[in-house]
Structure 1
Amino acid sequence: MKQNYLLILLCTFVLLVNCKGDDTPEENPAKVVATGKLEGKVFAKNGTKPIGGALVFTTDAQSNIYHTYSSADGSFSLTAPEGNTTLHIQTGDGKNFRTEVPVTVKKNETVTITANDSKLNQIAKMAYVKGSYDKIEDIITSLGYTATEISYQDLKNINTISQYDIIFLNCGSRTTTQTGTSTPSNDVNVYANLSTFVTNGGSLYSSDWASAYLVGGNTNTENCNAPGGFINDNLLCLKNTGAAGTYTGCNVSNTALASALGFNTLDIEYDLGAWEKIQNYDPAFWDVLVQKGNEPLMIRTGHYTNPSDPQTPVGNALNNNHITICHHTASGNNITITINQNAWSAHQAHGDTMGPCTGNSSSGNIYYTTFHNHATGNIGKAGPILEYVILNL
């Protein structure tokens, strides 16, 4: 009888232990793991500009992820299991900008990552179309990165643009003197190629009058029914009715962006009149990142795709043996990361899935700002926002 009683107690204990499950350490603080800390600051390639909102993570032998995010001043502190590992630093989905640092985590000790090792490397190939009112290329260069100038005519050749991961479309890049045509709204090849580019994973940034590349128009978008474009008017409608002046008290409505920047309000200077005001947009398609009251001023989507577009390799990232996946956590706070494809089987066994956690798995991102990226005067707090755009496309 006593032996049966002890056997029952033993079985009960085993069942209780097994009920804890096998969650990743980040959701199961009760699991005893010897750890140390990794600390440092994330910088742009220039070595001086701190990068906020960067994902910093390591993995253990079971493909469990230990992660944190850099603060607005670039600093991070990550608790990780002891031993030799790789510290990953990524922005966006990690496809275009990332850094990998071999590290040794020491039990109950803090290891400082040098500023030289924590610089964010450019993986993407970037291009821009020169504009009359914007110079996003200057901001790219100031961060220590490079972009290749391409012409409006180059946009007509899918073989030319498909070699890039990101294309920046400056405001005023569709004037007749630059395009060599008086009717760019009829350039069906340009719109078809941009659609194919995004559908196959390329990302776009356009500002102000460059909305014509997205929704149609000549040098700009004069009404919601402008001819051309590859994004339907029911998804986005703009009209060039903005007046020159300062928009005060604008709000950074996206939490991740505000955290990365270290501020959530700003004044925006619209240095030229007739800027594109967003009339209507589909909130299921676009995320609003910056707004004035209920008026969107900066939007983003990762949902664009056209199933009729041809499948074609786009960009440099597809050729470097890395893939983008969604790491699933027990808490549901899933994170998008880019990993070496050799590690995929272990992540798949862990329950992770191919493609980013949000948006279409094979499509790129589109960012649009109603404000300029290189205004005549000081662009103020819009500067850090545009730096964020560059690094998170």
Structure 2
Amino acid sequence: MKKTVYLFLSILLLSLYGCIRSEDNIVEVTNPTPISTKKGTVSGKVMAKNGIKPIGGALVFTFDSQNKLYHTYSNSAGDFTLEAPEGPRKIHIQTGDGSNFRSEFTITVPKTDNVVASANLTKLNQVANMAYVKGSYDEIEDIVTGLGYLVTEIDYNDLKVMSTLSQYDVIFLNCGSRGQSHSGTSTPNNDTEVYDNLATFVSNGGSLYASDWDVAYLLGGNNNTPACNTSGGFIPDALMCSTSTGSATTYTNCAVSNVNLANALGFNTLDIQYDLGSWQKIISYDVAFWEVLVQRNNEALMVRTNKFHSTGAPAMPVGNSANSGWVTICHDDNGTPVTITVNQSDLQAHLTHGDSVGSCTGVSTSGNIYYTTFHNHATGNIGNTAPILQYVILNL
């Protein structure tokens, strides 16, 4: 009998152990758990400076007080929805690594609700100084200005003056620019000043875009590059061979082989019209050096790299003074690397978090080189290559 009474009392005490009385309320005692951060969302549409063209593939991000990154990307229509901790948050919008085009604004994120950022906040601002060399068959400057951005014309002889080049972050080399007047220089493949300056420019963070015949700036040649291992250029011959052997034709079902580019564009196949004979075909390339962005079967049509660096290039500041005080870093997002550009004042917090200075890929001090076998024409016959070139402009 005593054992039965003892068992009954034990069960009764155990049933009461999980509760305590606090004034007139019964409070269940549980193991304490950390309070999770309340989150809301910010939505909007990333637009070019002209307020008309939506920008796909833009990185939109913010941080919490522990330097945790919250990020997303705009879709091909420019739309984004970013999850973020509640309260006042600085929202960053960047394309490329953020050193040439970026915007930021502060907005209050509501708890478990959405706030829409107004269109004037989400326009992508130009930070870079950009220049172009006029060409015979290409006018990419029209695309730049059509987006609402600024670009300055320079000429072939300006490429020989490093103090001129160092003013710019981005230089566009239009197809046929080497066929312009060179002030008595009839053999550009011997212009070592140009090649040395371009090598120094890229090694110190400047970015280049060249199209079609202007691969000669990279690999050598006069108006174009007629054969492999042509004299001149600043990229070693082993890294690419291009010859001016393309014939007038239309390439159908070309593949956008880079996933980020395809997502930004909203399509992954396109037709490309080559309406001029003797365009530059990429015969071979080093897959460890070049990334293929657009191709037809196994033929590369658009490539890029940020892995060029000349060990003999002098170190010097390149680009817009507005970039001073900002630094490009590789942010560690729970094991996933994300390249962003942040204010110098925030750098130490990022380094403490485990981030590192420089892009997540390539050489930390080097800029990008984009090369396309196609280009835009003065006649406007560019089709779906137009949004590709817009992407190039914003991601150099």
Q: Is the 8 A contact 1:323 1:341 kept in 2?
A: yes
Relative to structure 1, the CA distance from residue 17 to residue 159 in structure 2 (aligned partners, 3 Å threshold; closer, same or farther) is: farther
Report the counterpart of residue 393 of structure 2 in structure 1: 390
Report the counterpart of residue 76 of structure 1 in structure 2: 80
CA shift, 1:376, in A, is: 3.4
Report the counterpart of residue 128 of structure 2 in structure 1: 124
Give unpaired runs (5+ residues) of structure 1.
Answer: 1-15, 19-29
Counterpart selection for 1:269 from 264, 267, 273? 273
Q: Does 1:250 align with 2:250?
A: no
Relative to structure 1, the CA distance from residue 80 to residue 368 in structure 2 (aligned partners, 3 Å threshold; closer, same or farther) is: same
CA shift, 1:118, in A, is: 0.3
Name the larger-Rg structure.
Answer: 2
Counterpart selection for 2:383 from 357, 376, 380? 380
Instruction: State the one-letter code of the partner of 2:257.
Output: S
Counterpart selection for 1:353 from 353, 356, 359? 356
Q: Does 1:200 align with 2:204?
A: yes
Give per-residue Cα distances to partners, 1:129-152, cap 9 Å, x unaligned. Answer: 000000010000000001000010
Report the counterpart of residue 54 of structure 1 in structure 2: 58
Instruction: State the one-letter code of the partner of 1:362.
Output: T
* Paired-residue identity, %: 62
Relative to structure 1, the CA distance from residue 61 to residue 179 in structure 2 (aligned partners, 3 Å threshold; closer, same or farther) is: farther
Q: Is the 8 A contact 1:95 1:317 kept in 2?
A: no
Name the CA distance, whole Å, in 1 between partners of 2:66 and 2:153. Answer: 44
CA shift, 1:60, in A, is: 1.2
SS across alignment from 1:219: coil
CA shift, 1:180, in A, is: 3.8
Give per-residue Cα distances to partners, 1:93-121, cap 9 Å, x unaligned. Answer: 00000001111111112110111110000
Give per-residue Cα distances to partners, 1:284-309, cap 9 Å, x unaligned. Answer: 00000000000000000000001111
Equivalence map 1:321-336=2 (5 Å): 321-330=325-334, 332-336=335-339
Q: Is the 8 A contact 1:87 1:102 kept in 2?
A: yes
Q: Provide the aligned length of Structure 1 versus Structure 2.
A: 366
Equivalence map 1:75-224=2 (5 Å): 75-178=79-182, 180-224=184-228
Q: Give the alignment's Cα RMSD to 1 decimal.
A: 1.6
CA shift, 1:178, in A, is: 4.8
SS across alignment from 1:258: helix
Q: Does 1:366 align with 2:363?
A: no
| Mean CA deviation greater in 367-376 or 278-287 | 367-376
CA shift, 1:83, in A, is: 1.1
Name the CA distance, whole Å, in 1 between partners of 2:272 and 2:32. Answer: 57
CA shift, 1:329, in A, is: 2.1
| Mean CA deviation greater in 314-323 or 303-312 | 314-323
Report the counterpart of residue 7 of structure 1 in structure 2: none
Name the CA distance, whole Å, in 1 between partners of 2:183 and 2:244. Answer: 20
SS across alignment from 2:213: helix
Q: Is the 8 A contact 2:47 2:54 kept in 1?
A: yes
Name the CA distance, whole Å, in 2 between partners of 1:17 and 1:58. Answer: 29
Instruction: State the one-letter code of the partner of 1:359.
Output: G
Relative to structure 1, the CA distance from residue 290 to residue 319 in structure 2 (aligned partners, 3 Å threshold; closer, same or farther) is: closer
CA shift, 1:36, in A, is: 0.8
Name the CA distance, whole Å, in 2 between partners of 1:296 and 1:56. Answer: 30
CA shift, 1:47, in A, is: 0.3
Report the counterpart of residue 13 of structure 1 in structure 2: none
Give per-residue Cα distances to partners, 1:299-357, cap 9 Å, x unaligned. Answer: 00000001111111100167431100000122x32100000010111111111111110
Name the CA distance, whole Å, in 2 between partners of 1:92 and 1:59. Answer: 19
Instruction: State the one-letter code of the partner of 2:336.
Output: N
CA shift, 1:61, in A, is: 1.3
CA shift, 1:179, in A, is: 5.2
Name the CA distance, whole Å, in 1 between partners of 2:109 and 2:322. Answer: 31
Report the counterpart of residue 312 of structure 2 in structure 1: 308
Report the counterpart of residue 233 of structure 1 in structure 2: 237
SS across alignment from 1:192: helix
Counterpart selection for 2:68 from 50, 64, 70? 64
Give per-residue Cα distances to partners, 1:6-50, cap 9 Å, x unaligned. Answer: xxxxxxxxxx999xxxxxxxxxxx982101110000000000100
Name the CA distance, whole Å, in 1 between partners of 2:119 and 2:275. Answer: 37
Q: Is the 8 A contact 2:211 2:375 kept in 1?
A: yes
CA shift, 1:374, in A, is: 2.6
Relative to structure 1, the CA distance from residue 231 to residue 167 in structure 2 (aligned partners, 3 Å threshold; closer, same or farther) is: same
Instruction: State the one-letter code of the partner of 1:90.
Output: Q
Report the counterpart of residue 343 of structure 1 in structure 2: 346
SS across alignment from 2:104: strand
